[in-house]
């Protein structure tokens, strides 16, 4: 549970277990166009930037949470600066709180963890879910949302061991997210219906929207809280209006599909998200690439190679044109796009 400080590569003792590899060589805000971060053993299920973009947190099937500095220089210490250990099963999701000092994690061991990212101490172990927790998200008020195979969505305050609110559904939930204001939560799962709730009033949804034809594995919101995006198990990516009010008779879900980031038979929880300027969408894929779509035209802008397995999680740097991805190949890649 303690934070492990990594040694410099030129040290003869306890050399870093985390190695960085260069994929290409062109100028960017990184010290190379793309940098491979190695260290997890097995699939890396979650990869997220800090809110200021200077750090990265990843979680994997190896039960660990890895902490990284954004690799802007090739000199000195390796990007990985610590490991958080304590979960008894795979870390399915990990994110920074808005202080960029605290990490929240979710695990297949059915617990939520809050961690001090400087000391490595687990601040709080939260219990209440009965099955695997598939995703965790955090509000600007440092309230965590978790969704689980047990069909429940729960809200957590790091000062308490038990959830402050819960929503029970009939089917497993695979993904959940706050809006940017932290006032609304969204979730979906085996039932391919997006449900939106005011986090202060969880007795009935604000709205629901069906339209996906397969289980929903990912939900994300754009920067101005106007558009929601979902990815389904079959690879279909669709958008929804997330505005407070939609005229009667008008569907929230767009009839159009972003096609080209396929899923196959692996049944993986593949994530998608918006760019920081809302003009493009990026998604993981079972074809081992990262796919970038133009938001308006839905055309594929780029297919980024480098991974040797399914790309599971994707994140966009908050201010720079840098993308973070993780895969079943055990690698994390951070690259200029």
| Residue 190, domain member (yes or no) | yes
Q: Identify the pLDDT of residue 249.
A: 83
Q: Identify the pLDDT of residue 27.
A: 38
Q: Identify the pLDDT of residue 18.
A: 36
Tally helices (H) and strands (E) across the chain: 0, 28
Domain extent, residue 229, equals: 89-322
Q: Identify the pLDDT of residue 26.
A: 38
Partnered with residue 282 across adjacent β-strands are 273, 292
Residues of the chain with pLDDT under 70: 1-28, 74-77
Q: Identify the pLDDT of residue 237.
A: 97
| Residue 30, domain member (yes or no) | no
| Residue 4, domain member (yes or no) | no
Distance CA 293, CA 299 (A): 5
Q: Identify the pLDDT of residue 76.
A: 61
Q: What is the CATH number of the domain that holds 275?
A: 2.130.10.10
Domains of the chain: total: 1
Please write the tens of the pLDDT for every residue from 119-173.
999 999 999 999 999 999 999 999 999 999 999 999 999 888 899 999 999 999 9
| Residue 308, domain member (yes or no) | yes
Distance CA 125, CA 110 (A): 10
Cβ of 297: how many Cβ atoms within 10 Å? 8
| Residue 5, domain member (yes or no) | no
| Residue 223, domain member (yes or no) | yes
Cβ partners under 8 Å of residue 129, min gap 6: 110, 111, 112, 146, 148, 150, 152, 154
Please write the tens of the pLDDT for every residue from 15-32.
233 344 544 433 347 888
| Residue 42, domain member (yes or no) | no
Q: Identify the pLDDT of residue 115.
A: 97
| Residue 28, domain member (yes or no) | no
Q: Identify the pLDDT of residue 12.
A: 29
Q: Identify the pLDDT of residue 77.
A: 67
Please write the tens of the pLDDT for every residue from 55-72.
999 999 999 999 999 998
């Amino acid at each position: 549970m303690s934070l492990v400080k990594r040694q410099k590569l030129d040290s003869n003792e306890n050399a870093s277990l985390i190695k960085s590899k260069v994929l290409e060589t062109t100028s960017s805000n990184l010290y190379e166009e793309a940098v491979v971060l190695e260290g997890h053993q097995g699939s890396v299920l979650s990869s997220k930037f800090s809110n200021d973009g200077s750090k990265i947190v990843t979680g994997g099937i190896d039960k660990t949470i890895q902490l990284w500095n954004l690799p802007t220089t090739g000199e000195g210490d390796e990007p990985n600066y610590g490991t958080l250990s304590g979960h008894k099963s795979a870390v399915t999701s990990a994110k920074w709180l808005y202080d960029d000092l605290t990490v929240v994690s979710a695990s297949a061991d059915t617990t939520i963890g809050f961690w001090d990212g400087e000391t490595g101490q687990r601040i709080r172990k939260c219990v209440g879910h009965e099955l695997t927790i598939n995703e965790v998200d955090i509000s600007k008020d440092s309230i965590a949302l978790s969704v689980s195979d047990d069909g429940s969505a729960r809200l957590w305050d790091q000062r308490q061991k038990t959830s402050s609110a819960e929503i029970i559904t009939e089917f497993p939930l695979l993904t959940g997210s706050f809006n940017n204001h932290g006032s609304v939560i969204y979730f979906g799962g085996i039932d391919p219906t997006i449900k939106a709730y005011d986090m202060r009033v969880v007795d009935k949804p604000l709205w629901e929207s069906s339209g996906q034809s397969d289980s929903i594995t990912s939900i994300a919101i754009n920067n101005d809280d106007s558009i929601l995006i979902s990815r389904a198990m079959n690879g279909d990516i669709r958008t929804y209006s997330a505005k407070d009010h939609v005229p009667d008779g008008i569907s929230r879900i767009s009839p159009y599909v972003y096609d080209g980031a396929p899923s196959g038979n692996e049944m993986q929880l593949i994530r998608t998200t918006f760019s920081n300027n809302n003009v493009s969408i990026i998604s993981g894929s079972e074809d081992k690439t990262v796919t970038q779509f133009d938001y308006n035209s839905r055309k594929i802008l780029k297919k980024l190679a480098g991974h040797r397995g399914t790309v599971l999680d994707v994140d966009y740097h908050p201010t720079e044109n840098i993308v973070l991805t993780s895969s079943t190949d055990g690698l994390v890649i951070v690259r200029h796009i």
